[in-house]
Each structure stands twice: as C-alpha cells, then as structure tokens.
Amino acid sequence: SYLTRAFNLPESKIFYIPHGSPKPLSEERDRLRRRLGFEGRKVMFTFGLLNRGKGIESVISALPGVVREVPETLYVIAGQTHPEVKKREGEAYREELQEMIRRLGLEENVRMIDRYFSEEELIAYLTACDLYVTPYPGMQQITSGTLAYAVGVGRPVLSTPYEHARDLLRGCEELLLPYGDTEAWERQLRRLLADDAALRQWEERIRKIGETTHWPRVGEQHLQLFAKLCSETDGDEKAKERLEGEVNPVASVSR
C-alpha cells in the first residue's frame, strides 16, 4: 500500500518476492551443539555487524531475571563492529555492552565473538541455537538479512515489530515485542527458554515459514516474474525461449 500511495503505482505493477535464505545444515543438531560448546545451555543468538541499531542492550537488560529462572541461558552475540561505526567511535558500543555485562554479573551468560563468520559457520550457529533475537529499535527497517537467515533455518525468533519482522512473522505476533520493554522481553524469554515444548512448537511454525524463503524457491519466483514480464512484450513462447537461452546454468536455482 505504501508503494501505491507514494509512487502512484497500480497494484498490478507490484510483485513481492521474499528475502532469500539458506537451508539448515544437514549435520545433526546435537553434534553441532557439542562442537560449538552449547551442550547443556539454552542458547540465544544475535549476529551481524555490531552497531547501536542492533538494540542488544535491551536484551542484556532483561537477562538477570531470565538467568534466575533459567541459569543455563547463554546469549551469543557474534560479529565485528561495523566499519563505519568503528571509524566514528571505535569500539565504544562494544565496550559499553561489555561493561553492562560485568555490572549485571552476566559474564557466564553472555558471549561476545568479535570476528567475521563465514556463511557455513553462521548457518551452523543458527542451526545450533535455541532462539534468535533481533531487538532492533528502528521500526522502519524494511529488510533484515539476519532475520531471514534465522527463519530460513527454522529457528524460533523474538523480535521487535519492525517492518520486515511484521511481514515475515505474520500470524506469529506473540514473537514481536516492543523495543525497550524490559519486562515484556524478560517474561517472554523466560517462558520460551524454560519450556522445551513451547520452543519446539514455535520451531515447527517458523520452519514452515522458512521453507517458503529458501533460495531455490526464491530463485524460481524470480524466473516466473521474468517470464511474466517478457511475455507481456514478446508473447509466451518467445519469452520462454529467451529465458531458456539466457539463464546461466552455473547459477542454477536448484543448488
């Protein structure tokens, strides 16, 4: 509706294709958890280039009450500081978070990993964690690759209700919490991390959403759109011939 209003476009000219996502690793999840040191822990995970727009402090603020009920909680925060942020303020935000962790006595419950992750390693962490969190303060954020990846591998998610989260998690509004509402975050984190059955139920629901965003399916949607656009000018048969002749087999969407 925003595009139709802002740019005076007819709805027939607007097509929606979701942000693509990887499939979970085939490696057994219990083995992954052992390899990553997650055995016996309830693992929350956030990744991406670190900056104040991640809202990580709001989750850390909620953790003391969570840890009292679920002492095996571990919050893993992965990723280097955003290079532009580093130019402006160095590691100030990371240091503020580290000081907050010390002040709240959460050294055994929060792990910050300051390095680049390969895609395979990232998918391993996502597959192995129990809960992914995106507590972003900016409600106008229209896309989040980190959220798309987490949903793609079927991880339960807690998030603030920014644009992409509301769209991707439609029907799962219980997983959307206001930014900075420490009590709401603490309450929902305790409820999920203390209840394996609830986590598994959400995992199944998110997995079904994630399957619609895997790269092969998203690639097929792109091809269907290209075919539709070509057919409007060339006719169906000519459009089909063009697509079959121009699609690069090396970039096959079946991979």
The predicted model scores a pTM of 0.81
Parallel, antiparallel or unpaired: strands 157-159 and 73-78? unpaired
Residue 123 CB coordination number (10 Å): 21
Average pLDDT of the residues of the chain:
86
What pLDDT was estimated at residue 167? 86
Which of helix, strand or coil describes residue 158? Answer: strand
177 closest CA partner among 186, 50, 168: 186
pLDDT higher for 172 or 4?
172
56 closest CA partner among 166, 133, 128: 133
pLDDT higher for 158 or 8?
158
Those residues whose C-beta lies under 8 Å from the C-beta of residue 23, and which sit 6 or more positions away, are 152, 153, 214, 215
What pLDDT was estimated at residue 252? 41
29-210, what's its fold?
Rossmann fold (3.40.50)
Tokens representing 114 are 């300051």
**Residue 121 is which amino acid?**
E
* Residue 250 predicted with pLDDT over 50: no
The rounded radius of gyration (Å) of the Cα atoms in the chain is 21
What pLDDT was estimated at residue 236? 55
What is the pLDDT confidence band of residue 244, given thresholds at 50, 70 and 90? low
Q: How far apart are CA 212 and CA 170, in angstroms?
A: 13
Domain spans, the chain:
2-15+215-251, 29-210
Q: How far apart are CA 179 and CA 91, in angstroms?
A: 23
What pLDDT was estimated at residue 138? 84
Query: Each residue of 22-60: pLDDT tens digit?
Result: 787 767 888 999 999 999 999 999 999 999 999 999 999
Q: How far apart are CA 183 and CA 32, in angstroms?
A: 32
Query: Each residue of 80-123: pLDDT tens digit?
Result: 999 999 999 999 999 999 999 999 999 999 999 999 899 889 99
